[in-house]
Structures are given as structure tokens and as C-alpha cells.
């Protein structure tokens, strides 16, 4: 069965410090990978998605970047965190089923980031 791992679960970082959040998927090949952010009491904002190694699509210009160095690894980074980067960061994956349709998104348990 497929599993998704995100770490760390919680993180407190000072303004101006760098960030690296990691996500790995097991049990599937060539997944589509996603980073979403969720502010308190709000919905899910798509930040980045990737359909293959080294392929990154950015949805919202901001202080963050993403990389996919391996098939099942997705990394969210920042060189200098801002207070507004605080939030709940969620990694997710999907695959093609029946050759044409996408599966649902499957989410990790998220990283709660507080920038102080």
C-alpha cells in the first residue's frame, strides 16, 4: 500500500532563517506531487506541483521554492522565512488510474510552521 511521510510535524523558525520541509512517498511510482499551504481557519492553497523528477510548476509567486530530486521525494524550501510564511504545509500525491484518470489526492499529516 502507498504511504506518504512528511517531516517535521512542527517547526518554529525565526524570521530570516532558511527552511527545508521534506516529503516522501512509498509504494507507488512516478506520482504527481503537491505542496499546499493552509492558513488557520482557511482552505488549501496550492503552492507547487510536480509531474516528474526536476519538473516543478509554481502556482503562487512567493518566498518559497520546491524541488524534486528523486521520483518519490518532494522538498519545500525557503532561503529567508517571513512571518507570513507561517502555516500548515501539506504534501500530497496522486497517480494516473486507468491510463487517463487521476486518482484522488492523498495527503500527509502536514508540518505546522511558526515563524517568529
Partner 1 sequence: GESVGLHLPTLSVQEGDNSIINCAYSNSASDYFIWYKQESGKGPQFIIDIRSNMDKRQGQRVTVLLNKTVKHLSLQIAATQPGDSAVYFCAEKTPGTYKYIFGTGTRLKVLA
Contact with partner 1 (CB under 8 A) among 7, 13, 46, 95: 46
Neighbouring residues of 100: CB distance < 8 A, sequence distance ≥ 6: none
Dig out the grid coordinates for 65 from the structure: 521554492
105 binds partner 1 (CB under 8 A): yes
**Are the C-beta atoms of 66 and 76 separated by less than 8 Å?**
yes
Phi and psi torsions of 95, nearest 5°: -135, 165
Contact with partner 1 (CB under 8 A) among 19, 24, 68, 108: 108
Residues that bind partner 1 (CB under 8 A): 32, 34, 36, 39-46, 49, 51, 57, 59, 90, 92, 94, 101-102, 104-110, 112
Amino acid at each position: 500500500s502507498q504511504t506518504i511521510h512528511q517531516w517535521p510535524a512542527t517547526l518554529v523558525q525565526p524570521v530570516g532563517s532558511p527552511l527545508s520541509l521534506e516529503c516522501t512517498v512509498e509504494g507507488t511510482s512516478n506520482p504527481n506531487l503537491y505542496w499546499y499551504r493552509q492558513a488557520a481557519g482557511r482552505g488549501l492553497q496550492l503552492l507547487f506541483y510536480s509531474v516528474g523528477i526536476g519538473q516543478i510548476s509554481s502556482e503562487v509567486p512567493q518566498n518559497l521554492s520546491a524541488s524534486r530530486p528523486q521520483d518519490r521525494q518532494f522538498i519545500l524550501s525557503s532561503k529567508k522565512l517571513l512571518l507570513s510564511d507561517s502555516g500548515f504545509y501539506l504534501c500530497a500525491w496522486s497517480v494516473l488510474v486507468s491510463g487517463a484518470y487521476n486518482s484522488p489526492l492523498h495527503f500527509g499529516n502536514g508540518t505546522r510552521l511558526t515563524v517568529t
